[in-house]
Structure 1
Amino acid sequence: MATLGRSALWRRLDTTGTEHVLYDDSQGLRARGTIISADPVPYVCQFQLLTDETWATRMLEVEAEGAGWRRRVRLERAAGRWRVTANESGRLDQLLARAGRPGAALPGAELPEELSPATDVDLQFSPLTTMLPLRRLGLLHEPDTVPHTITAAWVLLPELTVLPSEQTYRAIGDDKVRYQSGSFAAELTVDPDGLVRHYPGLADRVV
């Protein structure tokens, strides 16, 4: 991937952690990022993300690694269909059990066809990927407050399981977007490019 000329950094509000990304959003999005988190077990996650010019996701590749384990997943979308490949090594299940958390499902998608309605990806705990539907749907320039409901390919961290996720976005001001998925809802503060400045309970942008 070529050199990327912009960057953003967020700090986590719910645990010790950060997300740093390098990106270019001149014709869709090209991005490389690193997520570091202390919860539920310490891990580092590195990812590459590519969309087309309409901001529809073409590829997301993610690798998560901690002490004694590593997982990888790659999602590719073409002609409205998703291809998901994944692999794992190590003992993430044991570490999660010691931390009092449920065991990790296998990485990847058990039924990739369930992702077919999805145009966007949503990497858990990543403010960057919130940008994708905002730019693709043109919410930042929408004069009204019409809600938009989408399906995203939701990639869970650290296990890298991929699930379909129904999400609703609605512009509620010049720099505010209301997000809802299931019983969870939040009012996000974003900049003019759609990057999250403040995600309540999750992250604040530092630079």
Structure 2
Amino acid sequence: MPKSLFWTRTDTAGSEHVVLDDRQGLTAQGVALAVDPIPYTCRYQLTVGADWSTSRLEVTAEGAGWSRSVRLERGGDGWRVRTGEEGDLDAALRAAGHPPAGLPGTDDPDRLAEALDVDLGGSPLTNTLPVRRLNLGRAPADQPRTITAAWVLLPGLAVLPAQQVYTSLGPGRVRYASDSFTADLDVDPEGFVVRYPGLAERIDPR
């Protein structure tokens, strides 16, 4: 049966709800909302293979007077990236006192060549992808694993290669690090995030 997961953001007003099936890899449909840096709604569809490497991510983001989309697909010849844009997100950001987001997508998909995972900004779900792919639930503790992820920034949907490090800390605990940022995640037995300090906490049905 499909699963339903819900997180509330702890860094800003926002939330994420996803319906997923993880019996053979992962298929997921989710909606994320946040007010920072400006109010937006993000909808995404994610497809992950049986080996837990990502094959497709489609994302749309929209707010007052603007919308953007990006589609990432990974094949034998690397990543293909398609984008769309309506309205003027950068104007909305400037009006709110924030720097512009720039263009969605990437001008050089080859920069993503080493990425087997995607990282959707602010989404605890996508942390599960390397956790499951690297089998960190059964990995020895304190052995860092370095990956490259295709990092999708919200709300602008720029796509960047990001080097990230995942380390098992024992049952139910995984350390995530990127550049100078580090967070110790609480995960359930299936690798889904329960608590991401400074970002989100999962709300489970009672």
TM category, shorter = over 0.9
Number of the residue aligned with 2:182: 185
- Per-residue CA shift, 1:39-79, capped at 9, x if unaligned? 11111000000011000000000000101000000000011
Structure 1: which 4+ aligned runs deviate by more than 4 Å?
none
Number of the residue aligned with 1:101: 98
Q: Which runs of 5+ in 1 are unaligned?
A: none
Distance in 1 (CA, whole Å) between partners of 2:159 and 2:29 is 19
Distance in 1 (CA, whole Å) between partners of 2:140 and 2:181 is 25
Whether 1:86 and 2:99 are equivalent positions in the alignment is no
- Per-residue CA shift, 1:77-124, capped at 9, x if unaligned? 011600000010111111111222110110011111000000000000
Aligned match of 2:53 in 53, 56, 68? 56
Q: CA deviation at 1:145?
A: 2.3
Distance in 1 (CA, whole Å) between partners of 2:36 and 2:104 is 18
Q: Which runs of 5+ in 2 are unaligned?
A: none
Length-normalised TM-score, structure 2 = 0.97
Number of the residue aligned with 2:201: 204
Whether 1:35 and 2:12 are equivalent positions in the alignment is no
Distance in 2 (CA, whole Å) between partners of 1:158 and 1:132 is 21
Change (3 A) 1:180 1:80: farther
Count of residue pairs brought into register by the alignment: 204
Q: CA deviation at 1:136?
A: 0.3
Whether 1:136 and 2:117 are equivalent positions in the alignment is no
Q: For 1:128, what is the secondary structure of its paired residue?
A: helix
Length-normalised TM-score, structure 1 = 0.97
Aligned match of 2:167 in 167, 170, 173? 170
Asked whether the 8 Å contact 2:9–2:199 carries over to 1, the reply is yes
Distance in 2 (CA, whole Å) between partners of 1:110 and 1:93 is 18
- Give the fraction of aligned pairs with identical amino acids, expressed as a percent: 54
RMSD: 0.9
Asked whether the 8 Å contact 2:140–2:170 carries over to 1, the reply is no
- Per-residue CA shift, 1:175-203, capped at 9, x if unaligned? 11111100111111100111101101100
Change (3 A) 1:80 1:182: farther
Q: For 1:8, what is the secondary structure of its paired residue?
A: strand
Number of the residue aligned with 2:62: 65
Number of the residue aligned with 2:192: 195
